[in-house]
Each structure stands twice: as C-alpha cells, then as structure tokens.
Amino acid sequence: MIVNMSSDATEEQIQHVIDRIKECGYQPHLIRGAERAVIGAVGKSDHHRNQLEALRAAPGVEEIIPIAHPFKLVSRQMRPERTMVEVRGVRIGGGDVVVMAGPCSVESREQLLQTARGVKAAGAHMLRGGAYKPRTSPYDFQGLGVEALQILKEAREETGLPVVTEVMSTEEIETVSEYADMLQVGARNMQNFPLLRRLATTPRPILLKRSPSATIKEWLLAAEYLVAGGNPNVVLCERGIKTFETEMRNTLDLAGVALAKELSHLPVVVDPSHATGRRSLVPAAARAAVAIGADGLLIEVHPCPERALSDGPQSLDLGGFAELMRGLAEPLLRFSTPNGRS
Amino acid sequence: MIVNMSSDATEEQIQHVIDRIKECGYQPHLIRGAERAVIGAVGKSDHHRNQLEALRAAPGVEEIIPIAHPFKLVSRQMRPERTMVEVRGVRIGGGDVVVMAGPCSVESREQLLQTARGVKAAGAHMLRGGAYKPRTSPYDFQGLGVEALQILKEAREETGLPVVTEVMSTEEIETVSEYADMLQVGARNMQNFPLLRRLATTPRPILLKRSPSATIKEWLLAAEYLVAGGNPNVVLCERGIKTFETEMRNTLDLAGVALAKELSHLPVVVDPSHATGRRSLVPAAARAAVAIGADGLLIEVHPCPERALSDGPQSLDLGGFAELMRGLAEPLLRFSTPNGRS
Amino acid sequence: MIVNMSSDATEEQIQHVIDRIKECGYQPHLIRGAERAVIGAVGKSDHHRNQLEALRAAPGVEEIIPIAHPFKLVSRQMRPERTMVEVRGVRIGGGDVVVMAGPCSVESREQLLQTARGVKAAGAHMLRGGAYKPRTSPYDFQGLGVEALQILKEAREETGLPVVTEVMSTEEIETVSEYADMLQVGARNMQNFPLLRRLATTPRPILLKRSPSATIKEWLLAAEYLVAGGNPNVVLCERGIKTFETEMRNTLDLAGVALAKELSHLPVVVDPSHATGRRSLVPAAARAAVAIGADGLLIEVHPCPERALSDGPQSLDLGGFAELMRGLAEPLLRFSTPNGRS
Amino acid sequence: MIVNMSSDATEEQIQHVIDRIKECGYQPHLIRGAERAVIGAVGKSDHHRNQLEALRAAPGVEEIIPIAHPFKLVSRQMRPERTMVEVRGVRIGGGDVVVMAGPCSVESREQLLQTARGVKAAGAHMLRGGAYKPRTSPYDFQGLGVEALQILKEAREETGLPVVTEVMSTEEIETVSEYADMLQVGARNMQNFPLLRRLATTPRPILLKRSPSATIKEWLLAAEYLVAGGNPNVVLCERGIKTFETEMRNTLDLAGVALAKELSHLPVVVDPSHATGRRSLVPAAARAAVAIGADGLLIEVHPCPERALSDGPQSLDLGGFAELMRGLAEPLLRFSTPNGRS
C-alpha cells in the first residue's frame, strides 16, 4: 500500500500516518519527493488492509494506492499452472474448446429435446437451458422451474450431454443440484455474496458469469469467494459489458478474456449470444473468442428463434448452429490465398 | 410495438410478420415508406409482448421498437399523484427533505450510539447502519450481523430515530425485520429477483438502491417487482453509476433523479457518500440533490472516519455532518450579492 | 512515480529499473515488501517523465503509478486563489452566477433578436448562439457562418449582452474574434490540440467544453494547453458525459463540477441543456448546478423550439427561460415548512 | 420517422403534429393504440428531417423515433459489394489481411529505419509512424513534424512499404500528403468536421480511427462526411472504446468490427495496441481481430519499447512482432487434437 500525501501536508500529518501504519502492524517507508511525501506500508498480514485503506480519510492524505492484487487463490501468482474443471467427463480448460449450447429458457419438452439432439449432432459438448430465469420485468416469462429441470435431465439421459443451468437463490441450490451437472451464477448475481458463499460448499462445478458492470478485478474477487469458500471448480464466463454503445446488447470484452487468463489460472469461456444480442454476429464472435484463447463457448440455440419466449433475436436455429461449428474448424486466415486477394 | 422491416424485406416476409402479429392477438398497421415498410402492432393485452419481441428474429425484420413504458404500477401515468412512504412517523416524499445518516457498518455499540446521538443532534431524521455488508472481497469486514441489529435497535430506543439497514438475502428478511423499520436493497441486489419477490410480501417499507449499471428503466422495473408483488412502500435511492470517470467512486446521476420523479410517483432519495466516494464533495452534492428535487438524503457519518472498517474515505465526521445540515438551510444563491460579486 | 515490480521480478530486473531511473535524472528509492519490490522515483524535473513511463515496458515491471497531478498551471496547488474571467464587463467566477442563454444555432435575424431581447429581459448576462455548427451528420444544418456572426453582433449592440460562440477550426479564429467576446471550444474539439494551441495566443477568453468522454484530468490538461500557451482566461463548461444510460442525451456530472473546482482555480459553468437533452429537466438541473457551486449556466433558448433547426427538444422557449430564472431565486429548500410537511 | 405521442396527448396536439408533418413535406400515418397514438411520417426527401426531429419539442410528443439509418453512401444498402481501398499497390479489403506496423512516434532516423526493416522482414505490408502527435498533456513529446515525414519517406524508399501517418489539422494536409501514402484521422479527430471536409477533397486514401466514445453510427457518419465530400477511399479503424474497465487502456470492441462490416461496405482494420495498451495482449487480440473478419491490423512496434517516447507499454519489439505474424498463420483451433485434450 502506498499513501500519497497531498503537497501541503504538514509534518504532523505525515507523522500521524506513519504512526497509524505501525499501529496496523505494517512497516512505514517514507520517501520525500520534490513536491510531496509518499509513504509505503510493507507487511505480511492482510488482516488490517481495510484499516490502512481508511487512512484515506486522515488529514493530509490525498490517495491510497494498493500495490498487491486483491485476489489471491484465483491468481496465477498463487498457482501458475492452469486449472481444468471437469463436468461429467467434459474437461473445460484442458486445451479443447468446449461448446455449451441450448435455448435461453426451457419452454417445453419438445423444444428442448429437439434442440439437444440438434446441438449434439452438430458437435456440442454440453447442454444449456434456463429453468429459473432472472427477467428485468416482472411481466416477462420467468421459466418453468422444476419442470424444466426434469426435461433437462431427460435430455441429458438421451444425448449424454452434461447440463448447465442457472441457480438464482440459495433456496434453489439443492433442487437444481439434483438435476444439473454444473451450476451457473447469472450476470446479475455475480456479486450476490450469500449465494456465492453457499455455492462454495456444493460439490458441483460453477459457471460464474461476469456482471455487465464488473471490472475484471471484481469478477476475479467474486470467483475468490467461491474458491476461498471451498469450491475450486470455477469456470469464468464473459458475456459482454455495459457501455455507451447501444447497437448491440452489450460490448463483448474479448481482450478481457485474454487478460483474465493472464491474471488467473481458472478457465474462461465466452457467451457471444448475450454479448452481442444479434444472431448475425454470433458465429464471427465465436471464432474470435476461440482465437483469443477462450476455453469454451456458450451459444443460445432455439428450434424457432422467432417464437422463443426469451432472447429470440440472439438465438441461432439448428442450421445456424451447425454452421457456427463448421466455422470453428476453418483456418484463421480463411479468405487469404498465397498470391494476394482471393 | 413497431416492427421496422429491413429495406430489402420481401412481400412474403412482410406478410409473415403481419400474420404473426395477428396470431399474438394484436392488430397490425402497415405503413409503406419510400425505402422500407414499418408495421405497428396495436393491442390491449400485454400477455404476448415477449412473443412480439421475438419477431426480431423473423426474416426481414431489422428492429423491434417498443412504444409503451415497460413499467406500469410505478409510473405516473398510472398514478399521477406522488406516493408518500411513512417510516415510523417519518414521511418520505411528503415535501420535507428526510435525512438518513449513520455509519456504513455498525462496528461497535460505542461507535453507533455516539453517531446516533450526534446525527440526531444535528437534525437527522433517520439512522442508517450496516449489519450485513456486501463486500467485493471475501477478505474484507463482512458486518456484525445480529449483534449490529441489536445495537441499532438500542440506538433507536434512545434517540427515537427510525432505522434503515440492508438485507442481503431472503433468509435474513425475518430477522432484520424484527429490528429495522425500513429494509434496504443494496445496489448489487437491485436485480436479485427472488429477494425482491420476497420483500414484496413484507409489511416493511423498502429503500431500493439503484444498481451502478442500471438504466432508469431497469431501476423502475425493479421497483415494479416490489409494487406488483404487493408492497407499495418503495423509496428509490440514487447512489451513483459506473462510468469511465475514475476520480470519483461513481458518477452521481442527479438529472436521473429528476427524470425518475418525472416518470414515477415514488419518492427518490440520494446517497452522495457512495456516489462520490470523497468526503470533501458530499456536502455540495447533498445541496445539489435537494435543489434538483430529491426527497431525502443518505449520508455516511462516522465518529472517526480514518478508523472506519469500511468506507472511511467517504464518511463525514460528526462536525462535518452538522456543517452539511447547516448548508442545506442556506439559500440557493448563497454567494451572490445584489450589486455584483461579493 | 512509483514502479510496481511484479512478484516474480528478478534482482537483475530490479537493478535495471533502478539504473534507468538514475539515467533519467531521478533518484530511486527501493522498498522491498513481503511479496514484491516497489521503487519510487523522486526528482524535480519533468523533462523525462515520459521516459519513466516507458519503463512499463521493461521486463519485470507490472505497473507505473504516477503520483503528481499531470496538470500544473491550472491546479489550485499552483494558484490557491480562484481565477475570475472577465468578458466585456461580465465577471465569471466572481461569486455571482452568470447565465449565458440563446439558441443552439443562429437561424435568422428575427429568431436571434427575439431571443436576445427575451433572455435579456429575463435576466441573462450573456448571449450564446452557434454560427459554425459541428453536426454528427453531414446532411444536417451546418450553421449560417459569417452571416450568423453579424446577427450576433447586432444583438449585442442592441442588448448589451456579450456574445459567446463556437469556433471549430484555426482558420475561423480571426473572423469569429472580430464579432464575438468569448470563444467556445466545443465538446468534440476539447482535444483538438492545434486549435487549442492557436487559441492560447488570442486575447479572447475561452469557454472550454468538456468532451463527453473526457475524464476530469483530461479536461484540465486541455485547459493546461490554453494556459501554458499564454491565455489565462479559461472557463470550463461541463455538458454531460457519455454513459450507458440512454434516456437522457448525456449524464450530467455535477459532482465532477465540484471536483474540478477542488482541483483547479478556473471557473466552471454548466450546460444542462446539452447534458440532459430534455427541456423538462433543464430548470431543475440548473438549480442543482448552482447548488453545487457552478459559476454560471449555459442555457439553450429558442422562440419556438419545435421549429428549431437543431436541438429543439432541449431548448426552452422564452417563457420557460423566464421561469428557470425565477427558480434560481427561490430558496434551496423550497417545499419545506418549519413544522413538517407542507 | 415515428412520432410517439404521450398517453395524455390531446386531439389538438395530435392534429398539430399531423399538420406539421405535412408542412415538412411528409405524409402522416396515424395509428391509435390502446393507450396512445403513434404517427408515422413517410417521405422521400431528407431535407426536412431536422424539422421533423424538432417536433420532439411540440406539446404532447413523448419521443421521436428515427427509422432509416442516418448514413447513406457508406451503407451496404446503397452499395452491397465491398469496397477495396488501394494504397500504393496494397489492397485493403481485398480478402488478405493487411498489416501496418511501426512505432507510435518517429523518434529518430535510426529508430525508424531499424523498425521498418524489421517489420518488412517479418511480413508487414505497410509502415506506420507518427510525425505530428496529439498528446493529452502539453508537456509530452509532440512529434518531430516534417523531419519525421522525411524519415518515413526514406524508409518507404528503402523498404517499399507504403506509409500511413496522422494528420491533425487542415494546415498540415498538404505537407503530409507530399510524404505519406495514406492519411490517418486520429481517434480524437473523428468528429473534427472541418478536417474531414478538407480530407474529403484530397486524392489520398484515409484511415479513419473510431473515437473512443463514438457509437458505430457516429463512426459511420464521420466516414459519410469523407465519402459525401468526394473521397471514397476510406478505411475504418477500431482502436478501443472508453468504458468503466480500467485494467486495459480501452475496451476493444471486436463485435463492433463485425457489425460495422454488416452495416457498411468500407474495409475495417483493428489496432490492438492502442485498444489494450498492454503488450502481452496484442498478439492474441490480433488473432481475434482476424478471426472476426478484420481486413487488416495496425500494430505498434519499437526496437526498444522501454525507451519509447510514447506508448512504450503497448509496443512490441521486433521479435515480438515477428512472433505475432507467425501466430496469424497458425490454425484457429491451435491447441486441439482429434482425441480430446492435447
């Protein structure tokens, strides 16, 4: 921690900060610059970091600058080798790109089974589908609940695809865990700490979506809640952040995926469907996600998007999904030829 | 709802959209422009609005444009007169500016009682203080829980100030309701829909903080969950939104307060402490909030901010709070004199 | 400047950074923490600050943290007393709130004269009006140019109101200076450095609008170009920043006004018309701007907003402007009564 | 254009809007819904679009919703086939990925020639390098000007690489055009309309960087200024947008690249160096840009980044650039093997 004193700080104020740093169990290092003093606080224990931060309120202090990363267990510093998360035999972070596909919401048995068979045939590795839906408006379709979970289970039994589905509250964890192989924390719940603390104690792997307003540090700190609480099987999922641009539903932060993998050993997957909100952009965005190093993809697929009860505009139909899968197998420079323009 | 067809949409595609609009129970109105067709969908029932929105995925459709506001019960269209929320005799939205003051977290009996007495003496109308704290890092102080609730109750008994405190999960509602007069939904939980649905059934009034990434429409839709679920006693709280500016903790959206009051009949209060994150800016921001029409203020006060376990940098000490209260009583144009510069 | 070494930096890397710091003419101060080393660089001269920043690219360096503010002449550290800018006898920053009012664009002699007389009668101190208009689309009305300048001059002669108008390029400076009393740098030109450098040499005072994507530091650095280049008469103007919220044209950053005045001695005025883009919100936002300490207001007024060639939706008509002026004279707590709700 | 009347609009107000629509030369189409009236305005001419937009200020009007895209000549609607821009024999938008590489600033003859030879050897197609530098602070290195242009020309003569460099003001256009093959409009100048209007009349192709705060529509409208003014040879360049995330210099909007190519026929290239501001992320981001369909890349390369006078932290050295080029030739799914994890 570095304490940046304001340029008109008095000697008493500097001394007071030095005393407080010692009181908190850290060693102070004073550097006197041409215009101002800067005081480094060095120490092993993190117990009193909050107290150091409160020094921002002490007279003469302009700024407190943290030096160490706030996350620990999820950092590559702590664990340089990459984590691999296994979901019923599917390995995320093991080198292959894992594709999880399915509808936004489970709407009916027919809709889900048709989708599950289709995505399986096209090469998907896991099945996604919402049973409990967080919806911005109370008047929108809120999901089929347990009925949807039963349908998901049936689809898994038929196709063999492991199932990932969202859990919205601590009370749903037990039920959802009976049916699903991986529990998804939705973007709006990324900082629902009571939920994270309970999920930290389940044996199921977790898919942690990035909140559209979370910095990468906040995202990794949310993962830290899970890992510190006892669940090391966490997969991060980038699904777009909120910016001034409104042509797309969100702004897909692909460089953020590369950065998250630089800072953390956890696998990172990408959801280009929610990120763009536009069906036409999903295949190209999926290719880009793979190119930047994503460990997997989350793709919304619906047999008839224009009749979907949620997120139709961003859903691919089965033909579109098969095409996306073929696109992933094409070379990076697919248009180029040796002698110039193709 | 307006369906904007793309300029190369075929007659079949236009007809298909018209048919689907009828199928959903709405009446289609086709307008043929110079370049493209636009189709209005008119209808009373909202039941199939989602189905109309899914038409975005139909071939030839470029855009779906909603016309009506998505929120209903909280809108001034539904209820032109303003709502007044009463909390143990304190009326929010009744014309007077209601000031809720206290520490970010309850840290000890002494800290809270000293604060409560101080803010009462300076003119505060309600006491705030966190018992359960949502913290970005799992390693930060997480609140004293029930012990804090007991201290808050004691402070209310001594000072008569009604208490508002945050509730983070459905499981805490019952306990917190025993002690607190008003339940706060924190910014990170604004779209925690299971929590909102349960709070809709409590008799306690709710203070609904705006998520730092919520549009005003999303904020009002969160309030709609509460009101539609049965709890009409909702007070909105603006506490800053997340933007590219990093000098302050958040960007205080004061014009958004005026807009929220234009769109909704619910009272709106402002938290300039969290919004700015800088003690020095809080009194001026509080004055501006009142000037733009806020129904109240939420102010963080700590007897010794530099020793606070959370949010010290944005907390006023008791002297600073008293000064803020005096500032609210000054005229708007406080520096001006009749003959030019003072 | 603080160099934050990564936790796995080698001794050679640390030594290399120390050597480079000395080479750049600064003194290195090494602090060894539990996990990593941090090196402070202390020095008087700023000549090689860029070279220090490039050290971010040296092996083993994680981050370079600047300590001093990047702006100098505009900072309160350099000049604690506030600057007052005089425009033909009107003093901005002298304690009184200065109101500059007029249409977005000068559209005709009649339109401007009618507006000038109206705003003068209602109490405005200066006249605004665009002659050269920066428009997002090449197909929109681009302003009347010199003709508009002549009309503005005529209005000044009749009403005595000093004129402020925008200058978009270095080539226009001479002409515009003949007619206008104050030159406005538009939000899109805040970082048009050739323009700033030339304006630094004119005798006219400058109204420097904040870019909707500028941090407060970037805004003050743009002002630094003007002051360092020789023009101390700079008035800053906040006009809203770009955020995810789309209900309003921009997000008015009023706390940013208070912060700009804390960091700089320059006067700061507020343009609530562009900031909100909604006529109905302008009067309340103007009151809030005054309450937070703005030195003046820029208000768009048009005799018939629904026929304006630009920015009609955010323009007040003459009656609305007169009401805004009356609202500024009302007390801060205008709804309150001594014994509770009014 | 759709006029959305408020739900309490009177018959007179509706009639007034209908009359004004006719007066502006458009045909009104009234649709009466359950709650409100909506009026479509249909017409060929765009001359009075601004007047229609001003109707937002008419009584009873809640919103004006544009239907048609505001840009025309740059849209794919106008010209479905893709544009190819030729720069001294290098074809951008012709199918091959064009790589433009070089230092942020030309600092010396040695620095530039060494870089030019290195990037040529590694496979770059064009040379970039700044002669006139827009810098946030007036105290930062501002470029070598004409001397830099001469060095760039010498490098082109030796290596054969066409040169792209930034032009900051109308006064520099003539001089820069003598030396450079392609003129770059910097991100801060994207809406410098006098500059765009003059560049529209030069014979040189233009590289138009997206402003970090521009929506895709605003970006395309800036290009429209160039094309409508007579210069069809425009290449768009995405270089990151400004968001709340601060770990990276900007947020690279790769999905926006795909969208820009969907909306416009102009080629789009990507600058991952400015976008991320972090050397370590540039190669992966470059791969992702190619995967999403970018027509080219702009890469900052410096022989010794830690001694660069600007943008060192995001510059690759020559070895790093060669590695980036090799990475572009690798398959998309480079880690996968047929039988599971590698």
Q: What's the DSSP call for residue D56?
A: G
Given a contact cutoff of 8 angstroms between Cβ atoms, the answer to whether A130 and A142 are in contact is no
Q: Quick check: helix, strand or coil at residue B141? A: coil
Residue B321 and residue B260 in one domain: yes
Write out pLDDT tens, residues C29-66. Answer: 999 987 889 999 988 766 677 788 889 999 999 999 88
Q: Which residue among C8, C31, C242 places its CB closest to the CB of A40?
A: C31
Tell me, yes or no, whether A337 lies in a domain.
no
Nearest to residue A214, comparing CAs of A182, A253, A183, A248? A253
Residues in contact with B60: Cβ distance below 8 Å, sequence separation at least 6, in sequence order? B5, B6, B8, B9, B10, B13, B14, B16, B17
Residue D315 has pLDDT above 80, yes or no: yes
Q: Is residue C123 part of a domain?
A: yes
Give the pairing type, strands B2-5 and C126-128: unpaired
Return d(Cα D143, Cα A45) in angstroms, integer: 47
Domain of residue A49 covers 2-65
Greater model confidence, C243 or B50: C243
Measured distance CA(A301)–CA(A299) in Å, rounded: 6
Q: Report helix, strand or coil for A207.
A: strand
Judge whether D38 lies within some domain.
Answer: yes
Which is it for the CA torsion A141, A144, A148, A149, positive or negative? Answer: positive
Cα separation values, B148 from B188, B209, C62, Å: 21, 21, 41
Contact between residue A153 and residue A110 where contact means Cβ atoms under 8 Å apart? no
Q: What is the CATH number of the domain that holds C118?
A: 3.20.20.70
Residue contact C292–B284, C-beta within 8 A: yes
- Cα separation of D209 and D189, whole Å? 8
CA dihedral over C219, C220, C226, C228, signed as positive or negative: negative
- pLDDT score at A322: 98
Strand partners, D126: D100
In 10 A of CB D141, how many CB atoms?
17
What confidence score (pLDDT) does residue A136 get?
A: 87
The amino acid sitting at D215 is: T
Domain boundary among the residues A65, A99, A115 is at: A65
- Other Cβ atoms within 10 Å of C232 Cβ, number: 16
Is the Cβ–Cβ distance between C321 and C301 less than 8 Å?
yes
A83 vs A54: CA distance, rounded Å: 35
Total CB pairs under 8 A between chain B and C:
174
By a Cβ cutoff of 8 Å, what residues of chain D touch chain B?
A: 2, 4, 7-8, 29, 31-36, 38, 40, 42-44, 65, 67-68, 77, 242-244, 246
D251, A248: Cβ pair inside 8 Å? no
Q: Which residue has the tokens 């006139």?
A: D132
- Residue C337's pLDDT is 43
Chains that touch C (3 or more CB pairs under 8 A): A, B, D
- Res D80 pLDDT > 70: yes
Which candidate, C6, A169, A17, B295, places its Cα nearest to that of D278?
C6
Taking 60 as the threshold, does the pLDDT of residue D342 lie above it? no
Q: By C-alpha distance, which of A282, A271, A278, A272 is closest to A248? A: A278
* D258 to A244: CB separation less than 8 angstroms, yes or no: no
Q: Over range D10-26, report the average pLDDT.
A: 94
The reply to whether C38 and C155 lie within a common domain is no
Instruction: Kindly list the residues from chain D whose CB atom is less than 8 angstroms away from the CB atom of residue C172.
Output: 194
Same domain, B60 and B191: no
Statement to judge: residues B304 and B266 lie in one domain: yes
For an interface test with D, the pick among C250, C306, C314, C318 (most D C-beta atoms closer than 10 Å) comes out as C306
Q: Which chain C residue's Cα is nearest to A29?
A: C31
Mean pLDDT of D251-271: 98
Q: Which residue of D has its CA nearest to A93?
A: D341
Question: For residue A139, what pLDDT is reported?
Answer: 87
Q: How far apart are CA B71 and CA B73, in angstroms?
A: 7
Which residues on B lie below 8 Å from A228 (Cβ)?
A: 138-139
CA distance D339 to chain C (A): 36
Q: For residues D287 and D314, is the Cβ–Cβ distance under 8 A?
A: no
Is the predicted pLDDT of residue C334 greater than 90, yes or no? no
Residue B339, pLDDT score: 36
Taking CA atoms, C106 is separated from C114, C116, C282, in Å, by: 11, 11, 21
Residues sharing a CB contact under 8 Å with residue A19, sequence separation 6 or more, in sequence order: none
CATH code of the domain containing C57:
3.30.70.1140
Note the maximum CA span of chain B.
76
What's the full length of chain C, in residues? 342
ipTM here: 0.93
Contact assignment for D307 to C54 by CB distance below 8 Å: yes
Q: Which two tokens stand for residue B25?
A: 């129970």
- β-strand partners of A270: A238, A297
Domain count, chain D: 2
Q: Which chains touch B (3 or more CB pairs under 8 A)?
A: A, C, D
Q: What is the rounded CA–CA span in Å between residue A297 and residue A102?
A: 11
Q: Do residues D238 and D289 share a domain?
A: yes
Percent of chain A beyond pLDDT 70? 96
Sign, CA dihedral A234-A238-A244-A247, equals negative
Instruction: Indicate the helix (H) or strand (E) that contains D100.
Output: strand D98-102
Q: Is residue B291 part of a domain?
A: yes
C159: helix, coil or strand? helix
- Asked whether residue D9 falls in the same domain as residue D115, the answer is no
Mind listing the pLDDT tens digit for each residue in B158-212? Answer: 999 999 999 999 999 999 999 999 999 999 999 999 999 999 999 999 999 999 9
Residues of D in contact with C192 (CB under 8 A): 169, 188-189, 192
Q: Which residue has the higher pLDDT, D1 or B267?
A: B267
Spell out the residues 6+ positions from residue B277 whose beta carbon is closer than 8 angstroms to its own. Answer: B240, B248, B249, B250, B313, B314
Q: Strand order in D61-65's β-sheet?
A: D27-32, D37-42, D2-5, D61-65
Last residue of a domain, one of D16, D33, D65: D65
Assess whether D12 and D90 both reside in one domain. Answer: no
Give the residue carrying structure tokens 């799992």.
Answer: B138
Partner-chain contact D168 C138, CB within 8 Å: no
- The CA distances from residue D97 to A132, C303, D119, in Å, are 44, 55, 15
Q: Is residue B217 part of a domain?
A: yes
Q: Note whether D139 and D235 are same-domain residues.
A: yes
In what helix (H) or strand (E) does residue C271 lie, and over which residues does it extend?
none
Instruction: Locate the chain B residue with the closest alpha carbon to A189.
Output: B192
Provide the Cα torsion B38, B41, B46, B47; round to 10°. -100
Partner residues linked to D176 by β-bridges: none
- As a whole number of angstroms, the distance between CA C323 and CA C321 comes to 5
**Shortest alpha-carbon distance between residue D77 and chain B (Å):** 8
HSE toward the beta carbon, residue B70, CA cutoff 13 A:
22
Residue of C nearest to A5 (CA): C67
If asked whether residues A11 and A141 sit together in one domain, one would say no
**Sequential DSSP letters for B9-67:** --HHHHHHHHHHHHHTT-EEEEEE-SS-EEEEEE-S--TTHHHHHHGGGSTTEEEEE--
Give the mean model confidence (pLDDT) for residues A327-340. Answer: 70
- Mean pLDDT of all residues in D261-284: 97
Spatial separation of the C-alpha atoms in residues B263 and A5, rounded to whole Å: 45
| Environment class of C81 (CB within 10 Å of its CB; exposed 0-12, middle 13-18, buried 19+) | exposed
Cross-chain Cβ contact A253/D245 below 8 Å: yes
Q: How far apart are CA C85 and CA C83, in angstroms?
A: 6
In the block, residue with structure tokens 């619910």: B266
* pLDDT confidence of residue B302: 96
Rounded CA gap, A322 and D123, in Å?
35
Note whether B296 and B262 are same-domain residues. yes
Q: Rounded distance, CA D163 to CA D158, Å?
A: 12
Among D65, D99, D116, the domain boundary falls at D65
Report DSSP letters for D186-255, one per residue.
PGGGTT-HHHHHHHTTSSS-EEEEPPTT--HHHHHHHHHHHHHTT---EEEEE--B--S--SSSSB--HH
SS3 B324: helix
Asked whether the beta carbons of C207 and C269 are under 8 A apart, the reply is yes
Reference C291, options D258, B332, B209; nearest CA is B332
Residue D69 pLDDT class (50, 70, 90 cuts): confident
Cβ-Cβ contacts under 8 Å between B and D: the total is 55
Q: Find chain A residues with C-beta within 8 A of D95's C-beta.
A: 335-337, 341-342
For residue A137, tell me if it sits in a domain.
Answer: yes
Q: Are residues C186 and C134 in contact, defined by beta-carbon separation less than 8 angstroms?
A: yes
How far is Cα of residue B131 from the mean position of the Cα atoms in its chain?
20
State the count of interchain CB pairs (< 8 A) between C and D. Answer: 139
Q: Are C145 and C18 members of one domain?
A: no
Task: Decide if D342 is inside a domain.
Answer: no
Contact yes or no for C272 and B278 at CB 8 A: no
Same-domain pairing of A179 and A44 = no
Looking at residue C45, its pLDDT comes to 62
Residue C80 lies in a domain: no
- What's the pLDDT score for residue D46? 64
Task: Express each pLDDT in C298-320 by its tens digit.
Answer: 999 999 999 998 888 899 999 99
Q: Is the pLDDT reported for residue D339 higher than 80?
A: no
Residue A237 has pLDDT above 90, yes or no: yes
d(CA A170, CA A176): 10
Residue A162 has pLDDT above 60, yes or no: yes
In sequence order, the 6+-apart residues with CB closer than 8 A to the CB of B304 are B317
